[in-house]
Amino acid sequence: MRIDHPRAASPLPIKRVAFVLLAASILSALLYQSLHAGDDLYLTASVFATRFLGIFVEAVPFLLLGSLTSGLIETFVKTDDILRFLPRSRLGAALGGTLLGLVFPVCECGVVPVTRRLFRKGLPLSMGVAFLLAAPFMNPIVFASTYIAFGFGGVLIGRALLTVLVAVIVATVIGSFADPREVLKPTSAKAGEDCSHHHPPGGPGLRAKLFSAMQIGGDDFFEMGRFLILGSGLAALLQTFVPQDSLLALGSGPVMSVLFMQILAFLLSVCSTVDSFLALAFVNTFSTGAIISFLSFGPMVDIKSTLMFTGVFRRKIVLYLVLLPFVLNLLAGVLINVALGY
Amino acid sequence: MSAEHHHHSQIDQAAWAKSLILFGLGIYFAVLILTGNLANYINLRFAWLAYVGTALFFLLGLVNFYACLNPRRAHSHHQISWDNLLVVAFPLLLALLIPSRSLGVEAVSGGIGLSPVGVERASALTRNPLDRNILDWLRAFHRAPTPAAFNGQSVDVSGFVYREPSMGEDEFMVSRFTMSCCVADAYPIGMPVRSSAAGEFAPGAWVRVRGEVLADLFQGEFAPIVHADAIALIEEPAQPYLYP
């Protein structure tokens, strides 16, 4: 068996540093809180544990589904198949990427391993980025949950239009980098050879293929799961130590309400399949533009997906992937508010 | 040859650890479902997610376990590093070290909301006053034409005791966290309670409060205040959160 994975050869110190930092910040935050408020350290730890495990329990089934999808793509989709159907232009690829979610129904936790796998299968950058940003909304499950929460109307249509618009713009910008190696980490770039090359010609049977798909899915779960866990930990820390009311007080007016809801979407890191129900809780408090921006921005970027991005993209690109959707959604949300006369 | 052998045995150990963690997480999810502790973490409307999670963890665990027993069938292209394994095992460690609890009074930071969350359902208004929970009461109160609309109605609600330094000796708030999907969006709401016995109940204790509602100013805004006839200590309910 070949061991050709670069990560095994050079363990990345960044991950270890991040882990140590997270552990240290949890400890120091707990200590600070216990000294500061005279609170029982144990109770604070228990609040953190409940918040962390809540996010984890809700998100991890979706990551498992995404990892399995990634394994199935690896074993059943040939690189040539993908390359044959590709649109030629960058804009066409980006538009196509936004629709790819209908083929691979994944939420924001599942989309990252699938995107990484598709990149390794040779998917062009702009298409992959558009898929990454749009798929968490552009899939039947999230259509359904948004419809159940808001019915067919302005919020559902606004969410869909804004998601596609932002995904296409960001994908076109990042797609303009000529060399994918500037954008992707070595582990995500197109592999020189396919998985199938390790097997004797003729290919293994269906059972063996399913077996290996599940093994690859398991590996993906571990590789992506650590980012999900680090991100859930950060989100839980913030929720444990930053009072909600101090945030709510900031969020009024056509601009600030949008800004606030986007920051909230980033911090809460709620899965896109259920975020409509969460947004429903804010309908009476916040402007329509803020709700639509929340629903468009949240599935694209949040704490845990940002950490997962760092497993696929180079750091400069992760910055683009966070800031561009943030600014574009903010602009759109404010414009909607102005148009509606807030 | 010996170097290669060494490398392989390391891979084996990591592969065993992987199976162990996958099974561990599967068992953790199953325990959450069986004990009902799942209700501490997510809205039970999404309980099916935990069933999916349990099934997939066991499936992946079995596949990995089988691959460990039959190394020749293994298709692993790379080794998962030990720090990676440790990070993924972190939720298990946390679940083992810290007993499962719902969000209670310790999790309240920045006060209790007096406004209802979520869409207001007309059912909150028409429902029998004694069947209204805290969320129903706040919704009904905010839809009412005047604050006095519910004066004199009987109330029977349960929640945990929350107290602020600014509150009087005879006051506390009977509170619940509302939750749309999971604890990530949990938000505390409550109704003020006035009773000469209020001081006997410690913050965080779960109580059932019965009495009569009278609208009055509370911390600067109108609120449905419970003038309690009876306050009783109760066990924490199986569903600690209210679902908007």
Min CA distance, A93 vs chain B (Å)? 30
Is B240 among the domain residues? no
Predicted confidence (pLDDT) at residue A2 exceeds the cutoff of 70: no
Asked whether residue B173 is domain-assigned, the answer is yes
On whether the CB atoms of residues B107 and B186 are closer than 8 A, the answer is yes
The token pair at B172 is 């506390």
Q: Are residues B27 and B10 in the same domain?
A: yes
Q: What pLDDT score does A156 carry?
A: 92
Distance from CA of A95 to the nearest CA of B (A): 31
* A219:B22 CB<8 A: no
Residue B61 lies in a domain: yes
Cα distance between residue A158 and residue A174, in whole Å = 24
> What are the beta bridge partners of residue B125?
none
Cβ distance of B41 and A54 shorter than 8 Å: yes
Are B59 and B22 part of one and the same domain?
yes
Assigned domain for B118 exists: yes
B91 and B116 inside one domain: no
Which positions 185-224 of A are in contact with B (Cβ < 8 Å)? 195, 208, 211-212, 214-219, 221-223
Least confident piece of the model among A116-130, A271-285, B47-61, B205-219: A271-285
- The whole-angstrom separation of Cα A87 and Cα A124 is 10
Query: Using an 8 Å Cβ cutoff, are A130 and A118 in contact?
Result: no
A239 touches B: beta carbon within 8 Å: yes
pLDDT higher than threshold 80 for residue B223: yes
Helix axes A315-340, A154-175, angle to 10 degrees: 150
Note whether A5 contacts B79, CB cutoff 8 Å. yes
Q: Are A58 and B182 within 8 A, CB to CB?
A: yes
| Residue A240 contacts residue A94 (beta carbons within 8 Å) | no
A54 contacts B184 by C-beta, under 8 angstroms: yes
**DSSP state, B158?**
E
What gap in Å lies between CA A263 and CA B192, rounded to an integer? 31
- List C-alpha distances in Å: A283 to A280, B24, B120: 5, 40, 10
Q: Give the structural domain span for B197.
A: 106-233
Q: What is the DSSP string of A81-93?
A: HHHHT--SSHHHH
pLDDT of residue A288: 87
Nearest CA in chain A to B41: A54
Q: Which of B20, B32, B43, B109 best probes binding to A when mutated, by most A CB atoms within 10 angstroms?
A: B109
- The answer as to whether B243 is a domain residue is no
CA–CA distance, A190 with A186 (Å, rounded to integer)? 8
Mean pLDDT across A2-22 = 53
Distance between CA A66 and CA A131 in Å, rounded? 14
For residue B70, name the pLDDT band (cuts at 50, 70, 90): confident
Compare all CA atoms of chain A with the CA of B120 and give the residue at the minimum distance.
A284
SS3 label, residue B218: strand
Are B39 and B118 part of one and the same domain? no
What is the per-residue pLDDT for B117?
63
d(CA A285, CA A245): 13
Task: Give strand ranges (E) for chain B.
Answer: 154-162, 171-178, 187-194, 206-218, 221-233
Contact: A226, B84; criterion CB under 8 Å:
yes
State pLDDT tens for residues A119-157: 888 888 889 999 999 999 988 878 887 887 787 888 999
* Residue B26 or A302, more confident: B26
pLDDT confidence of residue A1: 37
User: Does residue B2 surpass a pLDDT of 50?
Assistant: no
Judge if B113 and B218 occupy the same domain: yes
- pLDDT recorded at residue B131: 84
Between A252 and A12, name the one with better pLDDT. Answer: A252
pLDDT in tens, B122-167: 566 677 888 889 998 998 888 888 888 889 999 999 999 999 888 8
In a domain, B242, yes or no: no
Same domain, B144 and B112: yes
% of chain A at pLDDT higher than 70: 79
Q: Which of B83, B100, B117 is the C-terminal boundary of a domain?
A: B100
Task: Tell me how far apart the alpha carbons of residues A45 and A39 are, in angstroms, rounded to a whole number.
Answer: 11
* Whether B70 and B125 share a structural domain: no
Which one of B74, B100, B126 terminates a domain?
Answer: B100
What is the phi-psi region of residue B143: left when phi exceeds 0, alpha when psi lies from -120 to 50, beta otherwise? alpha
Which residues of A are less than 8 Å from B79 in CB distance? 3, 5, 8
Report the domain count for chain B.
2
Nearest to B42 among A49, A58, A212 (CB): A58
SS3 B139: helix
- Say which residue, A275 or B133, is predicted with more confidence: B133
Claim to verify: residue B66 and residue B132 sit in the same structural domain: no
Instruction: Give me the pLDDT at residue A32, please.
Output: 58
Q: Residue B58, SS3?
A: helix
Stretch 54-93 of chain A: residues touching chain B, C-beta under 8 Å: 54-58, 60-62, 64-65, 68
Residue B19 · residue B70 · CB < 8 Å: no
pLDDT at position B125, please? 66
Cβ-defined contact of B182 to A54 (cutoff 8 Å): yes
Rounded-to-integer distance, Cα B146 and Cα B141, Å: 8
Q: Are residues B28 and B113 in the same domain?
A: no
Query: Which candidate, A315, A79, A317, places its Cα nearest to that of A175?
Result: A317
Work out the minimum CA distance from A316 to partner chain B, whole angstroms: 23
Same domain, B220 and B148: yes
Q: Write the pLDDT tens digit of every residue in B85-110.
A: 988 999 998 898 888 999 988 888 77
Choose between A5 and B213: higher pLDDT: B213
Tell me: do B122 and B82 sit in the same domain.
Answer: no
Domain for residue B65, yes or no?
yes
- The token pair that represents B177 in the structure block: 């966290």
- Residues B150, B225, single domain; the answer is yes
The reply to whether the predicted model has a pTM over 0.90 is no
8 A C-beta contact, residue B207 and residue B158: yes
Question: Across chain B, what does the average pLDDT equal?
Answer: 86
In whole angstroms, what separates CA A335 from the centre of its chain?
A: 25
Rounded Cα–Cα distance for residues A138 and A155 (Å): 14
**What's the confidence (pLDDT) of residue B23?**
97
Q: Are A267 and A237 in contact (CB under 8 A)?
A: no
Smallest CA-to-CA distance from B137 within B128, A283, B183, B146 is with B128
d(CA A8, CA A11): 6
Residue B141 placed within a domain: yes
**ipTM rounded to 2 decimals:** 0.90
Last residue of a domain, one of B76, B100, B124: B100
Smallest CA–CA distance, residue A117 to chain B, in Å, is: 14
Q: Which of A66-75, A154-163, A250-259, B144-153 has the highest mean pLDDT?
A: A154-163
Residues in B closer than 8 angstroms to A204, CB to CB, are none
Q: How far is B39 from chain A (nearest CA, A)?
A: 10
Residue A47's SS3 state is helix
> CB A20: neighbour CB atoms within 10 A?
11
| 3-class secondary-structure state, position A123 | coil
The dihedrals phi and psi of A312, each to the nearest 5 degrees, come to: -115, -45
pLDDT at A199 over 60: no
Are the C-beta atoms of residues A313 and A183 closer than 8 Å to each other? Answer: yes
Nearest to A226 among B42, B87, B185 (CB): B87
| Sign of the torsion angle spanned by Cα atoms B65, B69, B72, B78 | positive
Tokens of B230: 């009876």
Element (H, E) at B20: helix B2-35
Q: What is the pLDDT of residue A197?
A: 43
- Using the beta-carbon criterion (under 8 Å), do B91 and A43 form an inter-chain contact? no
